[in-house]
Every structure is written in structure tokens, then in C-alpha cells.
Structure 1
Amino acid sequence: MIAACSAGRSVPERIVGGENAKIEDFPYQLSLERHGMHICGGSIISKNYALTAAHWCGRNARDIDQLRFRAGTSLREQGGSLHDITYYILHPGRNKLTNDYDISVVKVNNSFVYGSAVQPIALAQKDPLTYDVAVVTGFGWFDPATPITAERLQVIRISIIDREKCEDIYDRNITKSMICAGIIENKGACFGDSGGPLVIDHKLVGIVSWTKSGCRHPHVPQVYAAVPSVYDFIKSKAEFDFIESNDEFD
């Protein structure tokens, strides 16, 4: 069910239904690499901290010395700057079975150097409204049927889905630590996009987490870890010049 991290061969194509994007337009976007290969996304929140999904940590905990973030590039596994991981902190409410609180605060060893292609993103403190339009970016699969990751950063725009409607579709509880978005045929986050950003009005509202059978069902919403639900946790664990955001979306 989880939109798992994954690596694959490359073609100059897209996140499912996406378009080519420039890192300068989304300078908070990160690629998490293992043994030099892209596996997940992430977001810069300060010079020394990033956010990503928690579910990669259990799979790669023993290889933390082989994990690194790549920042400041529109190309998968090319260019930009590399940042080794010092440690990560999982939310204490993390539940692998229910996918609750699928978030990890990650400290990097060498700081991010800000510029036009590397910038932090503010964290939303309030859940978005139904039908708000959000932006998702990533280097993941562009076809749910084949393990081919995007060579260039991809971007899509999708709408926030009502929690009750999402629960009806999945026939399960969608908790306060989750946000649903999507229900667009052949358009959405996929394998390799996990941990990446869901953004509204330049605020990080969600982290790519899971969907039904990965991303092979085009008519169901994707589920994101809700950043507002863990705002205080992030602020308490990350020692950084915190970017405060307004409660209301612009």
C-alpha cells in the first residue's frame, strides 16, 4: 500500500502525468540517494535539517552511512550538492501498519548552502481546505507499470480531497496525521516520490506517503503525511532558524 521508495533505469520522462520542472522554481526539493541511486524525495527546512517519509528509515537504517541528500539540481543523480546524513528522528506516533505519522526529521552533516536552487520551505500550521490546489514534485516513476524513474524533476498540480470522501474510497480511517489529494487519472505521485513535498502557497503541507497498491490505481487519492499535525514535533527536534508561517493560506 505504501508508495515505496524505489530506484530504476532512466528515460527523459516524468512523475505520472507531470511536466519537466526547474529546481529554481522548487529549490526546497531534495533527492535521497542510497549507494548513489535515487530512492526518495525530501524537503529542505533549514541549513541543517530536512524532512522525508519515515518508511524509508526502517528499510535503510543499517545503511545510513550510504545515504545522502542531493540538493540544487533538476537532474536525477547529477549535479547539485551532496549532503551526508548525521541522524534521523521518527515521530513517536509512527505506526508501520496504519501509516500514521509517516515523517522523519533528518539532520545533514554538511549544511545546505542557500542560493537560487537551494532554499528552505516554510511549514504549514493549518490543514488545507478541500479543493485547494497543491503542487507535488519528484523524481519518481512516471509510469506505474514500469520501474523507470524520471531523469528530470517533475511537477504536477492536484486538489485536496475531503477526508470523509477519502475514507469512503479506502474503507479505512484517514487520521489527522494524513491528508488526501488527487483522484486524477494517470496523474500523481508514484514510487520514488515518497518523502517528497506537497505544497500550497509556498508552504509545506504534506509529505508523499502512500496510496492503494503503490500508484497503480489511477482513480484513488494519494495520502500524504500532514505537516500541520507534526508542526510542534518538527520544531522541537530541529535546531534551526525556523521559518514561521501564517495560519491562513495566502
Structure 2
Amino acid sequence: MFIYFFWVMFMQCFPLLCILFIQVRANSEIDNHPAWKFIPTDVCGVTRYVHNSGRIINGKNAKLGQFPWIARLGFQNFFTRRIKFNCAGTLITEIHVITAGHCGSSHDVVRLGEHDTTTKFDCTEDDICTTYQDINIKKYIFNKFDKEKLNHDICLILLEKPAKFNDFVKPACLPRGTLLDLDLIGIHAHIAGWGYTNSTLETEATTLQYISVPIVDSSKCDKIYVHQLTEYQCCAGYPKGKDSCNGDSGGPMTKSFKVDNVKRCYLIGVVSYGRSDCGAGPAVYTLICKYMLTILDNIKE
């Protein structure tokens, strides 16, 4: 009888033990990956401001330098040399930017340090002025987007030359250690971008906007969208009112965590997709922690 009981318990627990073992092994590979030497963990995720809770619908103006890792992806017109921006991204090293896979693989340039899109120079209240950095894209390292299922919406970009770090251009941190297994349901994360502030009128923001949204159970999004969310995605937002929108795609979902007594902002998600009538429900985001090994494997310099 004892042997039978032990066998039943073993068969029930064995799959869970296997999953746990695989997860621990994967996390160990991430934590000890040699590519961390290329990632500026000493300067990442620190801004001039402490983030307060607050595709951007009903967002508020960000302060200059509040989200120094945010990038804009654009196409440069061959004749006029003007740049049209339609996606966002996140700087993670001097030469790497993460964005959404659905943004495509044909952008020419990444702009860093932008705040007010109507001016070339932006100044703080204490008269510290800065301008943006435009850097050409060298190549798309990987793009895993599944168009049919709207899954694996992530892409890694390599820049032609390094970004110059300052108070207004700085990378976000990447999750590591205990942050890889963190239960995100219920926490509030920040979304930033220059997307539509009114999806009906298609009014684009000229000043960087941000909102704070709760990460909710995936079932909230499963009820709204055709495709059910996978383990590689999360659902975040309110039933109505605040949301990311067109133009915010590929942008950062960040959360501030205190690690080793230092508070830093970590990239936990990428803006993927939402309702066409932005603000009418939660949106879908790609989880960075699920792609950390792939990201690290592709950072060679």
C-alpha cells in the first residue's frame, strides 16, 4: 500500500519537478550568461526623477529625462530627408534597442533623447538643455513575430554606432535573478510614448506621455481579443480610460524595483497590441523575462 501511495504521489509531482528543474536551469543560464559584460548594469534604469504612479490615452506629460531609455523608430524620406516615426523601442545597451516584432524590419533610424517632438532642443526647469541623437540602424538581429497568432512580438535591433549616455539617454535594466520569476499580476507598471492621445481624432502627442497601468489576469484580455494570451504575454490596463495606442507600439513597459539597495527601472514588457478604440479595455504586452536567454544569446558586443 505504501509503495502504491508513493508511486501515485511521484507520478503526480514528477511533471512539476521537471518544470521546476528546467526553470531553475534556464534562470541559471540567464544569470551567468557571458553577455552581461556588454550590458551597462551600473548605469541602467536610473533617472533624474522618482517614478510616481500615474499607447497613451488619458496619460500625462513626462518630465524631461524621466524615461531616458525610450527610443523612436522611423523611416527617412530619401528626397526630403525628413523622418516619419511610427513605432517606439527601448535602449538596453549602447548599441541595442528592443522593440515589437510587428513594427517590421525596415526602419532606417532610431532617435534617442526626444521629448517634445516640435523642438530640436529641450530644456529642464533649471535650464539644462539637450537635443536628440539620431542613429542609423545597422541590422535587425532577430524578429520572432508570429503574424497569425500575434505572438512572440519582439525584435532586437543593432545600431550603427553607440549612443552617448547622459541624463536624457540611458538604458533600461533587464530582469535578472528573482525578477525573472516575479508574479506580475496586480503590480502597476509604466507605459510611455508619443502615440495617439485621441484614437477617434487620431491626435498624436507632441510631448512624451506616460501612464501607470495594472497588470491583470490574462483572462481579461482573452475575453476581448481573438487570440488567447500565451505564457509569453501579459494583459495590462483598465476597463476604460487609460491605454497605449497607435504609435506606442514597441515601446517600454517598465517597473521600478529595489535591487541591492538601489532603485532602478527594469524593462518588463513591450507594447504589442490593443483595441482599435484605444482606452476601451486592457492591452497586450510581450513579456521580456520569457526572451532573456534569446536576447543575451544575440548580444555579442
Would the TM-score normalized by the shorter structure come out above 0.5? yes
CA contact (8 A) 1:45 1:122 kept: yes
Q: Which runs of 5+ in 2 are unaligned?
A: 1-54, 77-82, 121-130, 257-264
1:208 partner SS: strand
Q: CA offsets, 1:205-248, max 9 Å, x none?
A: 11001113x3x0533210011111111111111235xxxxxxxx
Q: Which residue matches 1:90?
A: 142
1:20 aligns with 2:61: yes
CA contact (8 A) 1:127 1:226 kept: no
CA contact (8 A) 1:105 1:238 kept: no
1:32 partner SS: strand
Q: Which residue matches 1:116?
A: 167
- TM-score, normalization: structure 1? 0.81
Counterpart-to-counterpart distance in 1, 2:66 and 2:193: 13
1:137 aligns with 2:192: yes
- TM-score, normalization: structure 2? 0.68
Larger radius of gyration: 2
Q: Which residue matches 1:227?
A: 288
CA displacement at 1:75 relative to structure 2:
1.8
2:270 partner SS: strand
Q: Which residue matches 1:208?
A: 271
Counterpart-to-counterpart distance in 1, 2:142 and 2:92: 16
Q: Which residue matches 2:158?
A: 107
Aligned residues: 218
1:191 aligns with 2:246: yes
Against the structure 1 CA distance between its residues 22 and 239, is the aligned structure 2 distance closer, same or farther, given a 3 Å change threshold? farther
Counterpart-to-counterpart distance in 2, 1:148 and 1:82: 24
Counterpart-to-counterpart distance in 1, 2:114 and 2:183: 28
Q: CA offsets, 1:23-75, max 9 Å, x none?
A: 411110111122212211110000010001111115xx3xx4xx211111212
Against the structure 1 CA distance between its residues 86 and 38, is the aligned structure 2 distance closer, same or farther, given a 3 Å change threshold? same
- Select between 191-200 and 69-78 the one with higher mean Cα deviation: 69-78
Q: 1:31 aligns with which of 54, 57, 72?
A: 72
CA contact (8 A) 1:127 1:228 kept: no
Counterpart-to-counterpart distance in 2, 1:90 and 1:127: 26
1:41 aligns with 2:83: no
Q: Percent identity?
A: 28
Q: How does 1:72-91 map to 2 (within 5 A)?
A: 72-76=113-117, 78=120, 79-91=131-143
Q: 2:104 aligns with which of 50, 57, 81?
A: 57
CA displacement at 1:169 relative to structure 2:
3.7
1:24 partner SS: coil
Q: Which residue matches 2:299?
A: 238
**What amino acid is aligned across from residue 143 of structure 1 in structure 2?**
N
CA displacement at 1:185 relative to structure 2:
2.0
Counterpart-to-counterpart distance in 1, 2:181 and 2:201: 36
Please identify which structure carries the higher helix content: 2
Counterpart-to-counterpart distance in 1, 2:269 and 2:142: 16
Q: Which runs of 5+ in 1 are unaligned?
A: 1-13, 241-250
Against the structure 1 CA distance between its residues 182 and 87, is the aligned structure 2 distance closer, same or farther, given a 3 Å change threshold? same
CA RMSD of aligned residues (A): 1.9
